[in-house]
Amino acid sequence: MQDPLIAAAIAVRENAHATFSNFKVGAAVQDESGRIYTGCNVENATYGLTVCAERVAIFKAISEGARKFTRVAVVADTESLTPPCGACRQILWEFCGDVEIVLSNLAGKTETLKLGTLFPRAFDASFL
């Protein structure tokens, strides 16, 4: 049986607006109550205004009142598992802390690690 968090990320990946790169990504974030929020990447012709799937999922969860998160899944159709970009790592750190990150592809390959492994010595409000 497939992990519901990964299944949600796979499903939302199909909604990605990736007309320029064709690189569709789906993300799902689980809050402390078990509720899952999803996001997909949304590209823009300027690329600079593109928003990644992970940030869409976090912002959607925040806008719906979620505040504490336990896991994040990121799915792309790549042989090598795709981790969050630097901007997404920063947002994930600020809103989720050292959360569990599940990377997966469409072939079913997965890897689970803590965000701190991907983002050592992260900057957050504690430095302000």
In a domain, 53, yes or no: yes
Q: What is the pLDDT of residue 15?
A: 98
Half-sphere exposure of 48 (CA within 13 A, CB side): 1
Q: Terminal CA-to-CA distance of the chain, rounded, Å?
A: 44
What per-residue confidence (pLDDT) applies to 1?
A: 79
> What b/e string do you get for 40-55 counting C-beta neighbours within 10 Å, with b at 16 or more?
bbbbeeeeeebbbbbb
Whether residue 128 lies inside any domain: the answer is: no
Residue 127 counted as domain residue:
no
- What are 18-30's pLDDT values in tens digits? 999 999 999 999 9
- pLDDT at residue 12, as a whole number: 98
Kindly name the residue from 14, 43, 54, 94 that is annotated as catalytic.
Answer: 54
Number of domains observed in the structure of the chain: 1
Where does the pLDDT of residue 40 fall: very low under 50, low under 70, confident under 90, or very high at 90 and above?
very high
Q: Indicate which CATH number applies to the domain containing 58.
A: 3.40.140.10
83-99 pLDDT per residue, tens: 999 999 999 999 999 99
Q: Is 54 annotated as catalytic?
A: yes
Range of the domain at 22: 4-122
